[in-house]
Amino acid sequence: MKLTRIGGPTVLVELDGWRLLVDPTFDPAGRHYSFGWGTGSTKMAGPAIGVDELGPIDVALVSHDHHADNLDDAGRAMLPSVGAVVTTASGAGRLGAGGPGGSASGRAVPADRLHGLEAGESVTLSGTRPGLPTLVITATPCRHGPPLTHPIVGDVIGFAVRRQGEDRVAIWITGDTVLFGPLRRVADELSIDVMLANVGGVRFGVTGPLRYTMRGRDAVELVGLAAPRVATFAHYDGWSHFVDGEQGLRDALDASAASVHDRAVWLVDGVAVEV
């Protein structure tokens, strides 16, 4: 497996010939985006690889479509051209209509290539090229904020990707989430090869001390529970709403037990890293 960090949550996963793209974000730096309810963030860094350099994508895994730090305008524009899009059930409804504003806001993803899932549901995807194994992608639970914030933050999922016929998860992508009971249970129950965790400790001035994604120490706890062969990380820098950020993650890993620290692999912007 090869992982290429592109920026924010956007990672290219190359698995047995499949090219999977996590949360496409390709807008340039400098723009401020509103997330609603008085929250928002400024993009501080552009993508390490542009859409035109990316090459064909078999599957886009969109943890949620309604926050621009996980799906921005350029990322949204590319979705109709990929082989399949897997996202939340509610997000599939919006993307199938062309976006939050319906078909007038952009091209719709064709229905036969769009798969909306609730946590616990799966989709099976067969390769369109010779030699590609069949993949089973299961949505895993996320809570993108404190208790009772779902009406504000909306639906979010992670992704457990398996080869059909295998119990072991080839890669688990946590999505944007805080550390909570259902996430701990997934980490404890799954047998995981590679884990890709979104961290950064998101906070907003308007909501004070409330956090909307995991901090470094939360990620360390989750890695300890999941015990993957490799643990790696995304979505901890490049935006103004990260408070814990890269340094918080590095500090937590430096202070962690060897059973966690030795599993960690840092991704390099724009470079394919074999894991």
Separation in Å, CA 175 to CA 50, 52, 97, 235: 22, 25, 23, 9
Strands (E), 89-130: 114-117, 122-125
Q: Over its length of 275 residues, how does the chain's per-residue pLDDT go in tens digits?
A: 999 999 999 999 999 999 999 999 999 999 999 988 788 899 999 999 999 999 999 999 999 999 999 999 999 999 999 999 999 999 999 999 875 544 334 689 999 999 999 999 999 999 888 889 999 999 999 999 999 888 888 999 999 999 999 999 999 999 999 999 999 999 999 999 999 999 999 988 878 888 999 999 999 999 999 999 999 999 999 999 999 999 999 999 999 999 999 999 999 999 999 99
Q: What do you get for the CA distance between the two ends of the chain, in Å? A: 6
The distance of Cα 16 from the centroid of its chain, to the nearest Å, equals 20
Strand order in the sheet with 169-173: 122-125, 135-141, 157-163, 169-173, 192-198, 230-234
* pLDDT tens-digit series, residues 131-183: 899 999 999 999 999 998 888 889 999 999 999 999 999 999 999 999 999 99
Q: Determine the pLDDT at residue 104.
A: 39
Residue 53 DSSP symbol: H
Give this prediction's pTM: 0.95
5 in Cβ contact with 270 (< 8 Å): yes
Residues 6+ apart with CB under 8 A from 233: 196, 197, 198, 199, 219, 249, 264, 266, 267
Q: Which domains can be identified in the chain, with CATH numbers?
A: 2-274 (3.60.15.10)
What is Dmax (Cα atoms) for the chain? 52
Facing residues of 231 across strands?
Answer: 195, 264
